[in-house]
A and B are shown apart, each in its own frame.
Chain A
Amino acid sequence: MKKKITTLILGLSFLFIPGFASGQDLLIKNGTILTVTKGTIPQGDILIIKGVIKQIGENIEAPKGVKIIDATGKYVIPGIIDSHTHIAITASNESSEAITPEVRIRDVLNAEAPAIYTALTGGVTMVHTMHGSGNPIGGQNIVLKMKWGHPSEEMIVHEAYRTLKFALGENVKQSNFFTTTSRYPQSRMGVNAIIRREFLKAKNYMEKRDRYLKAKKSKKSSKNLIPPRKDLRMEALADVLRGKMVARCHTYRADETLEFINLSKELGFKIACFEHASEAFKITKELVSEGIGISVFLDNWAYKIEAYEGIAYSAAYCTKKGVLVSINSDSSERIRRLFNDAAKAMKYGGLSEEEALKLITINPAIQLGVEKIAGSLEVGKHGDIAIFNEHPMSAYTRCDMTIIEGEIYFDRAQYLKEREEMEKKKKAEKDKKKKGGER
């Protein structure tokens, strides 16, 4: 079976590997370049060859035939990364059962979802599309590049960590449904108990397999040995225990967050990031000592009682305390305003421009394991870029162009032109109809 999968992957790999199949050449000239990690270049150029940044500096000469974008007066930043969304999929939560780590978001991708285009209009080039928060243990998430117009398999970012969605609190207890439900667990006690149960089952599953392998090798006759059945659900959890997948856990209250950290230590798995974590500012001590980051809203709060103590200062405060913080949208509408949310971290908590910009670029990249290819403008990284007409932290800014691996996926000027033509066509049709009527 493994051989088949490997051959399949290899066979289609030329479609998968970004930068080699679809990467293009582009030269962006004369913009204010905010590299995020290596300072600002007031009037700089970026040269992208075959989708990868080849050069960043001043007065770069354009190689022959390379398309040039004039960014005079504009701001050039790394493509924004939204680390928690549910876009580009046709189903988000397998609610029929509480524990479903065997389901994979990559099985329900939809490359034609309009939300992908919406994301591009907000300068977002990469998203972490996740399973919903309706299950204590949900499914396997995926990281996608917003390559609008391309088939779904070309959007998958294979460099990213494999992540498994966990969730705590009101959503998994189904306590905000219109009618009462009867799916266990219905309390926070049950949520922790069921997570513990599943990991212990997975450990048991792994132990059985180890015993079988050992017994097979031993001198004593192994002719009566039946190999244990391979179970996709247990395999997924086993991968988490083996460190091949990391947990990303949806949580609100500080107490449940701490209890989950305890669970992870008790059972032996790694938490990559807490999602939403609206009370993270209460437990920065623990988050820093455990080295766990958070992916939060800036100021979306008070929609549930467990979110009633989420404060707008949390993102900035946690950053200052040394927690790795990213800002997410968790919404196909808010995804186009992530840069506005990041700017609010300057007002609520006093982050600097650069620190605020990190919240939507390099920080989510590190959390997702893609910092080698995205999150900042550095030579060798992918040419994923967003161009704004004002400073991205200004309320008056607007994204004018979004580029992925050197290819322009969103161009406001082009959009306006197409709209104008469409309006002209409509008017001409209307006039024709009128004339026809007059006759």
Chain B
Amino acid sequence: MIKRAIAFTTLLMLILAFGFTQEKSPNLIAIKGANIIPVKGEDISEGIILIKDGLIEGLGKNIDIPPEARIIEAKGLFAYPGLIDGLCFLGLSEISSLRSTIDYREIGRNNSQLKAVEALRPESVHIPITRANGITAVLVAPTGSLIAGQSGLIRLVGWTPEEMIIKSPVAMHIAFPSIPRRRRGRETAPPEESSKRIEELKKILNEARYYGKRKEAARKNLLLAYPDFDESLEFLLPVVKGELPVIISVHADKDIKAAIKFVQEEKLKAIFFGVEQAWRVAEDIKKAGIPVIFSSLYGMPPKWEDGYDGLYRNPSVLHKAGVKFAFSSSSSSLAKDLPYHAAKAAAFGLDRKEALKGVTIYPAEIFGVDHLMGSLEKGKVANIVLADGDILELRTNIERVFIDGKEVDLSNKYTELLKKFKKRN
């Protein structure tokens, strides 16, 4: 009897002791006093965001904060959802002139078997620099071939590639011809005919369709010859079934129109990337219901006739036509500049709120992860950025970043080197 009593008391004491030493629940955080820009819904001045187990438990002007919650004072700061990059090469490219550090290109024409996330380097110096500017999730994609491969959405924190993956594959990447650039002293090459590529693509997709159908038929009938494994077609099966969307890099107005026809004829779920001359065919894109991802706005318009501000005007024209859009950095070393592409579009006619959506909720919707991220809403993942001003502004400092409800270290190669050499000077 006594033995039982002692055991019970010890147990009780342990529980109480545990209770005392356990000050606050690490998984319960309340960000207090920030001006909340949820992106969906009204802004909340000096509100509260409650985070529990990595998700947003609640947000509002006056919500109850559980006593065990860790309080983060955020008066005077602005709370934004973590920004989402529509396409970049973070983790796949370290030094652009050193081939040994580049892993987003492969040789070959049909590389549908490649998965970008399998080449990620979590220790890339560019990742901490990028998340230190408020970007919390990015799409990493392969490029360079006709069918470049499968992209994936990753979070900008994690020790291993697996820990970084949010969703893979997100889409299959296909390239339409690019517009040849004028080079000093040389004649510009004539633009490649997209019809040739479309023919090639249709052939491959048809082969994939048949391959899939044959597999299905053979599964039901033992006597029918089962097709040999064909790597070039196997990974296209979800594409032709309409389950996996394609992201098509397309640039010239004629090619965009041809691409629209192509995806409609092939019954593909599509997103367009690049679209530098989309403003010329905005109505067609809207009618087709295809969302677009802009490539970096740090580029010259492909043709003089597009006007010096061709790329800058593009987003506002598409938005007015009703097309859904997202911004991208299309970079690794300059992925941190994602918000400034959005701001540049705002400088040239895009509504500022829409610009913010182009780096938050719109990419989330386009990639099918808007139930997880893209805005500050109850139930979504707690990717939260605390900034001392407008997150799209150049001089704004990012004070704190949370990914999946956990605060991330904002130190990076820039800050480390500065610290080191401050000691010398």
Contacts and interface: CB of A to CB of B under 8 A. Distances in A.
Given A285-B425, A304-B97, A343-B394, A90 B343 contact: no
A336 to B, nearest CB: 8
B67 interface: no
B300 A333 contact: yes
Q: Which of B96, B298, B299, B308 has the most C-beta atoms of chain A within 10 angstroms of its own C-beta?
A: B308
A304 B94 CA distance: 9
B314 interface: no
A317 B97 contact: no
Contacts of B394: 340, 343-344, 346-347, 393-395
A303 B184 contact: no
Given A117-B308, A282-B421, A303-B96, A347 B396 contact: yes
Interface string B381-425: 000000000001111110000000000000001110110011011
Contact of A281 (B97, B98, B304, B417): B417
Contact of B393 (A317, A332, A333, A394): A394
A303 B308 CA distance: 26
A311 B95 contact: no
Interface in B295-347: 298-300, 304, 307-309, 333-334, 336-337, 339-340, 343-344, 346-347
Nearest to A89: B184
B125 interface: yes
A239 to B, nearest CB: 29
A305 B347 contact: no
Nearest to B299: A333
A347 B425 contact: no
Given A303-B96, A313-B414, A282 B184 contact: no
B209 interface: no
B347 A398 contact: yes
Contacts of B94: 302
A114 interface: yes
A14 interface: no
A104 interface: no
What's the interface size class on A, roughly? 35 or more
A304 B99 CA distance: 11
A40 interface: no
Given A118-B308, A347-B397, A395-B394, A390 B334 contact: no
A82 to B, nearest CB: 16
Contact of A302 (B95, B346, B348, B395): B95
Given A114-B304, A347-B395, A395-B392, A301 B333 contact: yes
B185 interface: yes
A19 B158 CA distance: 61
A348 B397 CA distance: 9
B185 A90 contact: yes
Given A303-B95, A321-B425, A394-B393, A309 B417 contact: yes
Contacts of B393: 394-396
A429 to B, nearest CB: 14
B425 A284 contact: yes
Contact of A303 (B97, B125, B396, B425): B97
Contact of B413 (A304, A311, A398): A311
Interface string A327-361: 00000111011001001101110000000000000
A333 B396 CA distance: 24
A263 B394 CA distance: 39
Contacts of B300: 118, 332-333
A72 interface: no
A63 B333 CA distance: 52
Nearest to A336: B308
Contacts of A176: 97
Nearest to A286: B425
A308 B95 contact: yes
Contact of B418 (A305, A317, A346): A317
A177 to B, nearest CB: 10
A148 to B, nearest CB: 12
B96 A302 contact: yes
Given A302-B95, A313-B415, 13 more contacts: A118-B308, A302-B94, A303-B333, A311-B413, A334-B298, A336-B308, A343-B394, A395-B340, A395-B344, A395-B393, A396-B346, A396-B352, A396-B392
CB-CB nearest 8 A-B residue pairs: A395-B343, A343-B394, A346-B395, A311-B414, A302-B333, A398-B347, A395-B394, A303-B96
Interface of B: 94-98, 125-126, 184-185, 298-300, 304, 307-309, 333-334, 336-337, 339-340, 343-344, 346-348, 352, 392-397, 413-415, 417-418, 421-422, 424-425
30 contacts: A118-B300, A176-B97, A281-B418, A282-B421, A284-B425, A302-B96, A302-B125, A302-B333, A303-B96, A305-B95, A305-B98, A309-B417, A312-B414, A317-B422, A332-B300, A333-B298, A337-B298, A344-B394, A347-B395, A348-B414, A389-B347, A393-B394, A394-B395, A395-B339, A395-B340, A395-B343, A396-B346, A396-B393, A415-B307, A419-B307
